[in-house]
């Protein structure tokens, strides 16, 4: 690694300066009538006089002048200092060190500019600082170590200095970061208990292979090597080889510095078992209480991992009781002859510690009380590990903050008190929207809205949505106060108006619902993870259909107070009865006037519903968006109350669980079950698309029935209408992949690989034959005469009808909301299924 310095002179040595002084003066003293400083550019004479140990009018000697020169050099402000006598005036001729006017970096990718500037500033190298040339060698050594630790042995850094007017200098650091050396071979010597492949599997650094092209895990780095040796040691210690020792670990680098050969020699020793365990010191608890924390039994194979886990359980137990700084030292008693390890846990609980004060920082928008009400560790109470950890989790679950950091800090001169410093980084907790957009299911959309989960820093949730699209106009206002009472009982209001429009390009079914309603809801926390909810609502829904509405919906409307609102005609005889198309019209001259048949082709119904919703939820997710651990369960019951136009019950269960696999991988399992009794068709469950089974079109799976127009004209319906079902089964698993980004990007993007399945069913098949016509019906080439049997065979609760898919996707948290995109491959689609490989959605997260 080379370095180049230009346009700078090395400072004169102090010895040279002393020699110059002695040449200028004899041993005689003289009276310095005045002191003059020559050569100053930035500095003022007054600032120099204050440093000198002599003053005008003093009798000076050579030792006194030498001491003055040493003092000026020690200030770090000068490159050269000379002194001489001129007519009884003591003159100091100086050369000031230049000031760094500009610091520039080129070619640095691995080490960010901010990190370089911070590191150099600690060494006194920064814009505006006096330039010390001696620091250049320190820079070279430090950067060389940084790149060597990352395995970049061919890296090269050059430092250029350019002098500028007014005693200034610019520094330019040119980086050639080279390439990280690859681990070509790992050779283990002395192993018999574990095979080479088992040991290499445990290593963090890997040998080069085909997978390394993607994973890049064969790039050598010192910390990865250290982690590999620790993993090797843990591998043996956890199998009872307590005397295991790494004799030697050696690196050999190829001449071109591109490949590394690793050789590790080990001494395995013999296997040991657990013997007697004692808890000594000021234990405070009864032996049986501490013995309950043992994660092993006497006589089992020794495992250092279990010993460390017991130590952590002990620290947590004492920490939860206020002994926050308790100490536990594990002293093993190893008997090499019997192969037994007796363990002594020495406990020093220390003093009980209370929390004096809780300090919040970083909450520029969010009020202190919003954070404080989530804290389970209270001021004046004993410090508890459990309560501090739970406080952190509850703050993260709010979704208001990117990061939450909780640090206990000892109060000076008070050993039994700590302050709790809570540092948060706020994030966008909602969106304000004024946009024109497009979606697969709604076409062009005009939207204006405000959605805030932390409205004006109060912690209240407010949502206002005003949107118009080709299929729907929607207006909604909801307000929720999560702390309506100090105990955490929440209260919410919601009012809405929705008007939908028939559009053959986007509607799943050929009917629309115009609804207006509202609700009042309450939530009651059972404990930290469980809560109950209840809401009362009223909904007025008007259903209007088009001519292609399904016979299933027509029959429901007519059986529940609905009416026909439109008619069409068709000719039962003749070659060309009606025109072509989905809504055929009679063709003049093809049918005698007295042979035309009229039929109803449009319908409507209106339903007033008083609804009761009851819910139970359990949530241990570590954060609301992109969690990495924990689970959630939700059970909901919706009931149409007496006095409503519809009397129904609808039960749903949602669950999901997350587990971090390390290295940025997160495994998610999820599922949903639903069952309804006497559901009106517009309350049915649907399956297909995002939130169900990707790869199939949205809401396209499950029961299908022919359109009225095809039934009445006795024609085959090639594309029957989806009507949903009263039972739902869906489940899946996702593997979230690590992203190569850092900072906010890592928290805003989650790519996944998924496999999932779903279906909706009609468990009753309480359908009259009129749904298919008295003469039967042909759908997709199948002649149907017994409607109920057809329903049972195709739409009954038969798990063999589940649809499955696999695929990849990602979710990106944007300023307008979460955007999700996926590519899915249906595994068992059947004739009549609507498949769609590429799908996207805005608004759903997990």
pLDDT of residue 99: 84
Distances in whole angstroms, Cα of residue 773 to Cα of each of 678, 776, 777, 778: 23, 5, 6, 10
pLDDT of residue 447: 52
Which class would CATH give 30-96? alpha beta
Name the range with the highest mean pLDDT among 300-304, 462-466, 477-481, 837-841. Answer: 300-304
Supply the pTM of this predicted model: 0.59
Higher pLDDT, 323 or 747: 323
Contact status, residue 367 vs residue 358, Cβ threshold 8 Å: no
**pLDDT one-digit tens code per residue, 368-390:** 888 888 888 888 889 998 899 88
pLDDT at 136 over 80: no
| Span 273-348 CATH architecture | Roll (3.10)
**CATH placement of domain 354-426:** 3.10.20.310
Identify each DSSP E strand in 689-799 by its residue range.
Answer: 704-705, 721-722, 727-736, 749-761, 777-779, 782-784
pLDDT of residue 185: 86
Looking at the domain 182-267, which fold is it? Ubiquitin-like (UB roll) (3.10.20)
pLDDT of residue 531: 92
Q: Which token pair is 443?
A: 């076409």
pLDDT of residue 750: 85
Ranges 71-80, 349-358, 510-519, 755-764: which has the least confidence: 71-80
pLDDT of residue 842: 65
CATH number (3.30.420.40, 3.30.565.10, 2.40.160.50, 3.40.50.2000) of 613-842 reads: 2.40.160.50
Question: How does residue 10 score in pLDDT terms, banded at 50, 70 and 90?
Answer: very low
Which class would CATH give 99-176? alpha beta
CB atoms within 10 A of CB 164: 13
pLDDT at 698 over 60: yes
Higher pLDDT, 254 or 471: 254
Ranges 146-160, 191-205, 339-353, 636-650: which has the least confidence: 146-160
pLDDT at 816 over 90: no
> Nearest 5°: CA angle at 320, between 314 and 323?
75
Name the range with the highest mean pLDDT among 159-168, 430-439, 530-539. Answer: 530-539
**pLDDT one-digit tens code per residue, 277-321:** 999 887 788 888 899 999 999 999 999 999 999 999 999 999 998
Name the range with the highest mean pLDDT among 291-305, 429-443, 729-743. Answer: 291-305
Average pLDDT for 138-154: 74
Identify each DSSP E strand in 10-164 by its residue range.
Answer: 30-31, 34-38, 59-60, 78-86, 89-96, 99-106, 156-164
pLDDT of residue 746: 66
Q: Which token pair is 393?
A: 């989790």
Question: How does residue 20 score in pLDDT terms, banded at 50, 70 and 90?
Answer: very low
Q: Dihedrals φ, ψ of 79, to 5°?
A: -90, -30
Query: What is the torsion angle, in degrees rounded to the nearest 10, for the CA atoms of residue 269, residue 273, residue 278 and residue 279?
Result: 70
Average pLDDT for 203-211: 79
pLDDT of residue 442: 46
Higher pLDDT, 308 or 431: 308
Neighbouring-strand partners of residue 83? 92
pLDDT of residue 11: 40
pLDDT of residue 431: 53
pLDDT of residue 80: 83
Distances in whole angstroms, Cα of residue 681 to Cα of each of 27, 495, 677, 684: 114, 23, 11, 5
The helix (H) or strand (E) run that includes residue 225 is: helix 222-237
Considering the chain, what is the average pLDDT of its residues?
81
Residues of the chain with CATH 2.40.160.50: 613-842
pLDDT of residue 347: 92
Residues of the chain with CATH 3.10.20.310: 30-96, 99-176, 182-267, 273-348, 354-426
Residue 340 CB contacts under 8 Å (≥ 6 apart), including other chains: 272, 273, 274, 275
pLDDT of residue 3: 39
**654/758 Cα distance (integer angstroms):** 13
**pLDDT one-digit tens code per residue, 601-628:** 889 999 999 999 999 999 988 877 788 8
pLDDT of residue 222: 79
């Amino acid at each position: 690694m080379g370095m180049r310095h230009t346009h700078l002179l090395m400072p004169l040595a102090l010895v040279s300066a002393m020699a110059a002084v002695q040449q200028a003066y004899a041993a005689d003293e003289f009276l310095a009538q005045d002191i003059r400083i020559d050569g100053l550019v930035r500095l003022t004479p007054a600032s120099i006089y204050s440093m000198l140990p002599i003053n005008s009018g003093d009798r000076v000697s050579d030792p006194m002048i030498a001491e003055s020169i040493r003092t000026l050099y020690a200030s770090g402000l000068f490159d050269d200092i000379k002194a001489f006598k001129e007519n009884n005036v003591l003159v100091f001729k100086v050369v000031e060190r230049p000031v760094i006017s500009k610091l520039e970096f080129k070619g640095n990718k691995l080490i960010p500019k901010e990190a370089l500037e911070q590191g150099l500033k600690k060494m006194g190298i920064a814009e505006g600082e006096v330039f010390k040339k001696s620091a250049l060698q320190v820079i070279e050594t430090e950067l060389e170590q940084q790149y060597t630790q990352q395995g970049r042995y061919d890296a090269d850094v050059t430092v250029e200095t350019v002098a500028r007017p007014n005693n200034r200098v610019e520094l330019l650091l040119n980086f050639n970061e080279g390439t990280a050396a690859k681990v070509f071979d790992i050779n283990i010597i002395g192993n018999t208990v574990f095979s080479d492949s088992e040991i290499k599997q445990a290593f963090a650094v890997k040998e080069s292979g085909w997978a390394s092209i993607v994973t890049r895990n064969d790039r050598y780095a010192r910390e990865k090597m250290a982690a590999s040796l620790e993993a090797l040691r843990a591998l043996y210690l956890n199998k009872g080889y307590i005397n295991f020792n790494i004799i030697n670990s050696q690196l050999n680098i190829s001449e071109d510095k591109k490949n590394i050969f690793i050789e590790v020699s080990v001494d395995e020793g013999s296997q040991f078992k657990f013997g007697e365990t004692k808890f000594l010191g000021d234990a405070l608890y009864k032996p049986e209480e501490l013995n309950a924390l043992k994660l092993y039994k006497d006589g089992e194979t020794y495992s250092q991992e279990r010993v460390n886990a017991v130590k952590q359980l002990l620290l947590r137990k004492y920490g939860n009781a206020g002994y926050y700084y308790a100490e536990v030292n594990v002293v093993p008693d190893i008997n090499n002859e019997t192969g037994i390890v007796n363990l002594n846990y020495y406990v020093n609980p220390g003093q009980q510690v209370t929390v004096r004060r809780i300090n919040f920082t970083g909450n520029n928008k969010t009020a202190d009380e919003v954070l404080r009400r989530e804290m389970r560790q209270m001021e004046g109470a004993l410090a508890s590990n459990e309560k501090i950890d739970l406080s952190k989790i509850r703050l993260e679950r709010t979704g208001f903050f990117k990061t939450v950091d909780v640090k206990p800090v000892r109060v000076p001169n008070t050993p039994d008190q700590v302050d709790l410093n809570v540092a948060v980084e706020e994030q966008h907790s909602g969106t304000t929207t004024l946009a024109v957009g497009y979606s697969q299911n709604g076409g062009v959309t005009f939207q204006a809205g405000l959605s805030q989960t932390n409205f004006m820093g109060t912690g209240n949730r407010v949502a206002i949505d005003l949107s118009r699209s080709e299929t729907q106009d929607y207006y909604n206002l909801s307000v929720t106060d999560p702390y309506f009472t100090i105990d955490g009982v929440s209260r919410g209001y919601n009012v809405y108006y929705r008007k939908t429009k028939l559009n053959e390009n986007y509607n799943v079914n050929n009917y629309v619902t115009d609804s207006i309603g509202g609700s009042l809801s309450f939530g009651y926390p059972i404990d930290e993870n469980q809560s109950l909810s209840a809401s009362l609502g009223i909904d007025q829904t008007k259903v209007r259909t088009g001519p292609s509405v399904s016979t299933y919906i027509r029959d429901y409307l007519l059986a529940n107070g609905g009416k026909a609102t439109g008619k069409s005609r068709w000719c039962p005889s003749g070659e060309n009865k009606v025109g072509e198309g989905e809504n055929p019209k009679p063709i003049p001259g093809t049918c005698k006037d007295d042979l035309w048949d009229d039929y109803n082709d449009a319908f409507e119904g209106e339903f007033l519903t008083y609804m009761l919703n009851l819910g139970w939820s359990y949530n241990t997710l570590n954060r609301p968006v992109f969690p990495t651990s924990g689970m959630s369960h939700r059970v909901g019951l919706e009931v149409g109350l007496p006095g409503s136009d519809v009397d129904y019950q609808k039960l749903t269960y949602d669950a999901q669980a997350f587990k971090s696999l390390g290295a940025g991988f997160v495994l998610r399992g999820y599922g949903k079950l639903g069952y309804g009794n006497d559901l009106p068709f517009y309350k049915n469950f649907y399956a297909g698309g995002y939130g169900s089974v990707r790869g199939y079109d949205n809401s396209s799976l499950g029961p299908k029935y022919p359109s009225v127009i095809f039934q009445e004209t006795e024609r085959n319906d090639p594309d029957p209408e989806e009507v949903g079902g009263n039972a739902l089964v869906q489940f899946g698993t996702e593997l979230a992949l690590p992203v190569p980004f850092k900072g906010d990007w890592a928290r805003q993007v989650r790519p996944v690989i998924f496999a999932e399945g779903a279906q909706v069913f009609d468990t009753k098949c309480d359908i009259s034959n009129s749904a298919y016509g008295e003469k039967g019906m042909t759908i997709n080439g199948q002649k149907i005469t017994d409607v109920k049997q057809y329903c049972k065979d195709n739409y009954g609760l038969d798990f063999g009808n589940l649809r499955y898919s696999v695929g990849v996707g990602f979710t990106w948290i944007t300023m307008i909301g979460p955007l999700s995109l996926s590519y899915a491959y249906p595994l068992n689609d059947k004739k009549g299924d609507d498949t769609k490989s590429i799908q996207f959605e805005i608004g759903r997260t997990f």
